[in-house]
Amino acid sequence: MARSNSNTARQDRFNRDDNEHGVIGIDHFAMPADDIELMARFIEEVLGGEPYYVTGFDPEDEAKGKPRQVFMRVGNVLMQCAEPITGGVTVGKGDTNPWPHWAFLMSAEGLQRNLARLDEMGIPYFGPAEHVGGDSFSAYFASPEGHKLELVTYDDYPAEKVIGIFGPKGAGTPQWADLFYEWTPSS
Ligand SMILES: [Fe+2]
């Protein structure tokens, strides 16, 4: 089948509940983490998350070989941080491929507020830049372990605060190698 570019109406999907097989939306996503305590603290401090479901930590779990997992609630989505079961994490600072990445939805005011928070915390980010078509604005940053994250708004965004349009002729694209950093929890 030949495909061509298309773009549906702005924000329409947020009011849709019509998947023919009953799919509503994303419940959680699972990120492999070498240090889940560090990741949980990062999600608490940087994304305002809170522990929602924690498993694998008691001796019984340990005896069963259950991997340690922390589900952090961020908005209405759960970010699951789990220890690798095959010995190594493949997502990380050695990988500058833009995918996988995970995007959090917010208002324009929320995006400005959170970028100011990243500035305060000394966490590097790329953006905010406008997606081609002008329907959304995003900024990108990494977790301390190199998971790639995005903050996105479909609101209008103050033009003077936008670094340009994504793409080779505009603001460019995130250079992930420049966005990795070391981080320690605040206390
Ligand atoms: Fe994205």
Are 74 and 105 contained in the same domain?
no
**Distance of CA 155 from the midpoint of ligand 1 (Å):** 16
Whether 28 and 74 have beta carbons less than 8 Å apart is answered as no
Residue 90 CA to residue 166 CA, distance in Å, equals 27
Q: What is the pTM of this model?
A: 0.90
Q: Is pLDDT of 159 > 70? A: yes
CATH (domain of 129): 3.10.180.10
Calculate how far, in angstroms, residue 165's C-alpha sits from the geometric centre of ligand 1.
14
Q: Is the model's pLDDT at 187 over the cut of 80?
A: no
Buried b (16+ CB within 10 A) or exposed e, 112-128: bebbeeeeeeebebbbb
Residues 32 and 61 in one domain: yes
Number of domains making up the chain? 2
Q: What are phi and psi for residue 119, nearest 5 degrees?
A: -55, -50
Confidence band, pLDDT 50/70/90 cuts, at residue 89:
confident
- 150: CA distance to ligand 1 center in Å? 6
Question: How many angstroms separate the alpha carbon of residue 139 from the centre of ligand 1?
Answer: 9
Q: How far is the CA of 187 from the centre of ligand 1 (A)?
A: 31
Tell me how far the alpha carbon of residue 137 lies from the centroid of ligand 1, in angstroms: 10
- Per the prediction, the chain carries an average pLDDT of 92
Cα 61 to ligand 1 centroid, rounded to whole Å: 35
Q: How far apart are CA 131 and CA 21, in angstroms?
A: 30
At 10 the pLDDT is 63
Strands (E), 67-119: 69-74, 77-82, 101-105
Distance of CA 147 to the CA centre of its chain: 8
Distance 128 CA to ligand 1 centre (A): 12
Residue type, 143: S
Residues 173 and 116 in one domain: yes
Task: Quote the ligand 1 centre to 30 CA distance (angstroms).
Answer: 16
Ligand 1 centroid, distance to 182 Cα (angstroms):
23
Cα 167 to ligand 1 centre (Å): 14
- pLDDT surpassing 80 at residue 7: no
Query: Has residue 21 been placed in a domain?
Result: no
Token pair of 101 as six digits: 């990445």
User: Can you give the pLDDT at residue 36?
Assistant: 93
Say which amino acid occupies 86: T
The pair of three-digit structure tokens given for residue 111, joined into one six-digit string: 């995006």
In-domain check, residue 16: no
Query: Which residue is associated with the tokens 């995970």?
Result: 102
Residue 183 three-state SS? coil
Cα–Cα distance, 43 to 79 (Å, whole number): 9
Are 119 and 170 found together in one domain? yes
Residue 100, preceding peptide bond in cis (omega within 30° of 0): yes
pLDDT, position 138: 97
Average pLDDT estimate for 160-179: 94
The answer to whether residues 79 and 43 touch, using CB atoms and an 8 Å cutoff, is yes
- Ligand 1 centre distance from Cα of residue 156 (Å): 18
Is residue 135 located within the same domain as residue 173? yes
- Residues spanned by the domain of 121: 101-178
52 pLDDT tier (thresholds 50, 70, 90): very high
